[in-house]
Structure 1
Amino acid sequence: MRGTTRRIWAAGLAAAVLTAGAAACTGGGDNGDDKSVGGTDKTVVRACTGGTFTWSGVAKTDRLTGVSEVQGISEGGGGRLTHRIRRVYTPGPSVKTEGPSVSAAEVLYSLGKKIGEIDSDAPALAKDDSGTTYVFADPKAKAPGRESGFSRVDGSGAFVTYAGVREVTGDFRYACPGGRTTTGHARTCTVDLNGLLNCDESVGKDPLALQAARGSCVAGSAATKRA
């Protein structure tokens, strides 16, 4: 059995209504705007409304968020997986700016439109009158859980369950009509991932499974070797 990874939730492929129990890609970053240069805790220079975002260096990377210890299943038709996933990384939206402050939600909304996660004709979140709450643009949604989604396995081996996210990062420039510009960097994620691997078998070219194997399997196991 090769390592398997599956998407169990997609935040914002279409507009998604945010609920308290919804999985989201948040929890470990800066949930808000940085102070502008020269600002104080009491004085924050706000950027204009109606400015234009320009993005560069946008990338998507699968990040391991949790992995279980190895559980051995002997011959006899498989067995129940009982080892819990431990957190190794907490994903979180981070919006860092230099210059006049820009709303973190507006930055994430723009990034969501850039990568196709948010389908809207509105030029800005503040002007989106669809009545929809976009999970992707919410800088305070809860972090995804660590449930593996796998409860049993067939066959024998040394099994590891793991979880991850597809993280999106990018640099932006927000230009105002009057010439003032804000620059910054944003990070958030689009989907939760879940996987199961057997340390005794290669995980192929799956980078997330390889990270998990190297975090839990015995060094030199088949799963820890790059294909």
Structure 2
Amino acid sequence: MTTTTVSNQRRAALVVLVVATTIALVWTFWPQGERKSPAAKPPPAQAVLPGTVLKSSECGNQADKPFRPTRITVSGVGKNSQVLALGRDGNNVPRAPSLSSAGKTQYGWDDPAQATNFSDTLKPAGALPGSAKGNVLLNAHTWPDGSALGNRLMEHLKVGDKIVLGGKHAELCYRVTKKIVIKAADGSAEYYQQDGPPQLALIVCSPPRIGPGNWVHRTIWFASPMAA
């Protein structure tokens, strides 16, 4: 390699170095406009005490005052079934929905506004859901072919299950605490209880059936309001 060639190579390398240095300086000092601030970091996760689990409320905003129920959702049975406000029959027993294809899908509610026999201390008028005390009295039909609400309730509703009673702009959740089966002839003072803690009391006819509308037993579920 000649001296002239080496000199030319050194001169070319020097030119490249000068150009690169110039570009770097221009890039560094050229106005960059408004610099974007770094993206905000998400807030740290909420602390959880040992042994606890964070979760949303199971029932949302619970009603804090009495209301008239119009619909009911029962675990494993049906969602938003219609609740009818009904009065009492000639024996001062809460009426049930009609014996029809519609009636077997509806619940009857003992509406205290329709109570007429206030002197019957054994069967006092039922409470409104959201009341401070007393049983909200509900009923449903059982059909011989097994197609009514009462049949599904006996098959699926058990202690620990949830019941949601709803009305106009109101909702109240209950947890089933007790299930009993009684003889129809014996009746149930517990079902009509109105001076105890607030509860939902739901009754249906239960087997055996010995004639049209004549069932030997009654099945009753009691449920207590759940915390919001």
TM-score bracket, shorter-length normalisation: under 0.3
TM-score by length of 1: 0.21
TM normalised by structure 2 equals 0.20
Name the structure where helix makes up a greater proportion of residues: 2
